[in-house]
Amino acid sequence: MAPAHDDSTTSALAEADALTDAVLTWFGSHARDLPWRAAGCTAWGVLVSEIMLQQTPVVRVEPAWRAWIARWPRPVDLAEASTADVLRAWDRLGYPRRALRLQECARAIVDVHAGRVPDTEEALVALPGIGPYTAAAVVAFAYRRRSVVLDTNVRRVIARAVDGEALPTPTLTAGERRRADALTPRDDARSAAWAAASMELGALVCTARSPRCDACPVADLCRWRADGYPGDAHAHRRRTQPWTGTDRQARGRIMAELRAADHPVPEPELARVWPDHEQRARALDGLVDDGLVRREVAVVPDGDPTPPLVSLPR
């Protein structure tokens, strides 16, 4: 026997269905032709795309993803690669620790799952570098099963359309997850399509800074629009991260120099890419601690000691 619903519950369910229907219809005509969405893409290809797309735009990821999958089409291929090759292939995607975590993940897939990417969120989050979002995304996009996929784009669509807020809270809340779960269709195929469609809507139309409300398929259902586009209630909680002159920029310059080198580089020569000695030393120490750089100190029995040599890990 079906559970009884009061009028408000019935109305909410109808609104949720209308929202998902409109977004899915829009997606059918506006979805980008991305290689990790192709019918023949493997679960490994989907997983690699999700790691690469973290904080990196599609336009930079797509050529890197194609080269990566051509070189390492299976987890076992990446698991057996040298760390230096992995970091060079990661190139300028940013946050190179992601490359190391992806290789650790590949090794765990080989060792624990016989080379097959797991198909449950529980098994996926147990892998190195895989969080709840990535696990849910792989279940939805690779295995076409129901999961609640909540990236920044999806959160923004729901915050505006359902909650009437300009932007979601800086951190994911339990209330957000409940609303997202209520919006996610119960059917596996429809749920997976909703995950991709709502993400695409946030990326292309319901953008953070310049939303294209005139092109939005759910403009008539959007509470934020109906309420007159109120401002960001959480603006005071958001932090902006500078780039110029930071340790992050110093780390990036050092990594670029080492990726381009075909031999270990004497540490003092890094002054040409980052002159500030104290900051350069701090950035380099951090890279060594993170396993991204190798420092070698030559032992000289007689004579003056030579400066340390730095290189990518082997």
pLDDT tens for 36-50 read 999 999 999 999 999
Q: How far apart are CA 131 and CA 124, in angstroms?
A: 8
Residue 27 has pLDDT above 80, yes or no: yes
pLDDT more than 70, % of the chain = 94
> pTM for this one?
0.88
Q: How far apart are CA 110 and CA 235, in angstroms?
A: 44
Radius of gyration over every alpha carbon of the chain, rounded to an integer in angstroms: 23
Active site residues: 50
Tell me, what's the pLDDT at 11? 58
End-to-end CA distance of the chain: 63
pLDDT tens for 56-109 read 999 999 999 999 999 999 999 999 999 999 999 999 898 999 999 999 999 999
Residue 256 has pLDDT above 50, yes or no: yes
pLDDT tens for 123-136 read 999 999 999 999 99
